Amino acid sequence: MDLLITLGPHLLNGVALGLLFALVALGFMLIIGVMEVINLAHGSLFALGAYVAVALVTPEGGLRLAALAPYFAFPLPARFVVALVVAPIVVGGVGMVLEVCLRRTYGRDPLYGLLLTFGAALVLEELIRLVWGPTERFLPVPAAITGGITLGGLVYSVYRFFASAFAVGMIVLLWLFLQRTRYGALIKAGAHDSEMVRALGVNLTRLRLLVFALGTALAAVAGIVMAPIWGVRPHVGVDAVVPAFVVIVLGGVGSFWGAVLAGLLVGMVVGITGAFATAWSLVSMYVLLILVVTVRGRGLLGKKSVLER
């Protein structure tokens, strides 16, 4: 019991981190499933979402236009909510532009898509440095979700509870969108067989554009919520996209709840390992991946392959 109480804050940190990893991974997985493209720019779009949020929340965040002075007179909670809404839309628009650039690579060797998105990641990172500079930024949050609460003699971060609840809400909304809407059904069908969807008269070009916008917007949302925890740096996207890829493989490519479960496992393993050996906290998720894939090659909830007996 004493050990559980001691590990409480680390478990909370792990759950919050895992849910946000799952949110990044789900956006990543939507793009892979429908478009069969590994978007190496996903991490840079994650970072861009955080930077746009900083620009919308603080006057020193990059938007120094005099016309915006009345906007920054609004209280911080209002600006934070605006950032949560507007930044994903902006990043989703950037994702649409990237998808248009990707169209010439469809039907060709997958290496073309990898190279294009890798180049886009480098361009986005350098643009971030040009606009916001190379130094680390800070995203302030409303006072209502700062500070700590005491439970069982231990202090827990209020913001971690907010981040966990927000991530759960976003995951549920995404699941409802995929399960209960026409576009959600088309996305699932496109992930299963895009050519059949085209044969049924669905505008596959528009569907891919929507999926890319949705996937990159989810990355931006996660970037905003993670910003107060990780900080905002031009290369912060690398810290998010690599765990997201681990989560997709660990949960099973194409499995929604597999990604959520794997995200929670990765977050908790990283959190618990960090309590005893901080230097090994990130290494632990790769060890977890190796152990799971060795026993179950398709991941935790991945579908059985035709190559398996």
Confidence check: pLDDT of 87 > 90: yes
Amino acid sitting at position 170 = M
Amino acid sitting at position 100 = V
pLDDT of res. 307: 34
Higher-scoring residue by pLDDT: 139, 64: 139
CATH of domain 2-295: 1.10.3470
pLDDT of 172-219, one tens digit each? Answer: 999 999 888 888 888 877 766 667 777 777 788 888 899 899 999 999
| Strand partners of residue 148 | 157
pLDDT of res. 265: 92
Higher-scoring residue by pLDDT: 58, 201: 58
Share of the chain above pLDDT 70, in %: 90
Higher-scoring residue by pLDDT: 224, 252: 224
| Strand partners of residue 157 | 148
Question: Token pair of 83, please?
Answer: 């950032």
CA distances from residue 219 to 39, 49, 240 in whole angstroms, order as listed: 12, 7, 9
> Which residue in the block uniquely carries the two structure tokens 């152990």?
291
306 band by pLDDT with thresholds 50, 70 and 90: very low
C-alpha 296 chain-centroid distance: 25
Contact predicate 28/245, CB 8 Å? yes
66 band by pLDDT with thresholds 50, 70 and 90: low
Which segment of 67-71, 82-86, 116-120, 301-305 scores lowest on mean pLDDT?
A: 301-305
**Mean model confidence pLDDT for the chain:** 85
pLDDT of res. 191: 67
Q: Is 158 exposed, middle or buried (0-12, 13-18, 19+ CB in 10 A)?
A: middle
Confidence check: pLDDT of 146 > 60: yes
pLDDT of res. 223: 93
Residue 207's CB is within 10 A of a number of other CB atoms, namely: 20
pLDDT of res. 99: 93
309 band by pLDDT with thresholds 50, 70 and 90: very low
Confidence check: pLDDT of 308 > 50: no
Q: Is 217 exposed, middle or buried (0-12, 13-18, 19+ CB in 10 A)?
A: buried
Distance CA 222, CA 170 (A): 10
Contact predicate 12/157, CB 8 Å? yes
Residue ranges covered by each domain of the chain: 2-295
